[in-house]
Amino acid sequence: MIHLRDSWEIERIQKSSQIVRDTLEKLHEFVKPGVSTLELDCIAEDYIKSQDAIPGFKGLYGFPSTVCASVDDEVVHGVPNDKKLEEGQILSLDVGAIYKGYYGDHARTFPVGPISASTKKLLDVTEKSLYEGIKSAKPGNRIGDISYSIQDYVESNGFAVVRDLVGHGIGESLHEDPQIPNFGVKGTGDIIKEGMCFAIEPMVTMKSYEVFTKKDDWTICTKDGSLAAHFEHTITIMDNGAKILTK
Q: What is the pLDDT of residues 71-90, one digit of tens each?
A: 999 999 999 999 999 999 99
Q: pLDDT class for 65, splitting at 50, 70, 90?
A: very high
pLDDT number for residue 23 = 99
Q: What is the pLDDT of residues 163-204, one digit of tens each?
A: 999 999 999 999 999 999 999 999 999 999 999 999 999 999
Mean pLDDT of all residues in 38-59: 99
pLDDT number for residue 132 = 99
pLDDT number for residue 59 = 98
The closest alpha carbon to 69, from 84, 88, 59, belongs to 84
pLDDT number for residue 46 = 99
The closest alpha carbon to 232, from 155, 157, 159, 180, belongs to 180
Q: pLDDT class for 47, splitting at 50, 70, 90?
A: very high
| CATH for the 7-244 domain, from 3.90.230.10, 1.10.10.10, 3.40.50.1220, 3.40.50.620 | 3.90.230.10
Q: What is the pLDDT of residues 22-31, one digit of tens each?
A: 999 999 999 9
Q: pLDDT class for 234, splitting at 50, 70, 90?
A: very high
Mean pLDDT of all residues in 117-141: 99
E strands present in 44-200: 54-55, 67-71, 74-76, 90-99, 102-111, 160-161, 167-169, 176-180, 197-200
Per-residue b/e over 67-79, b at no fewer than 16 CB within 10 Å?
bbbbbbbbbbbbb
Mean pLDDT rounded to a whole number for the chain: 99
pLDDT number for residue 48 = 99
pLDDT number for residue 236 = 99
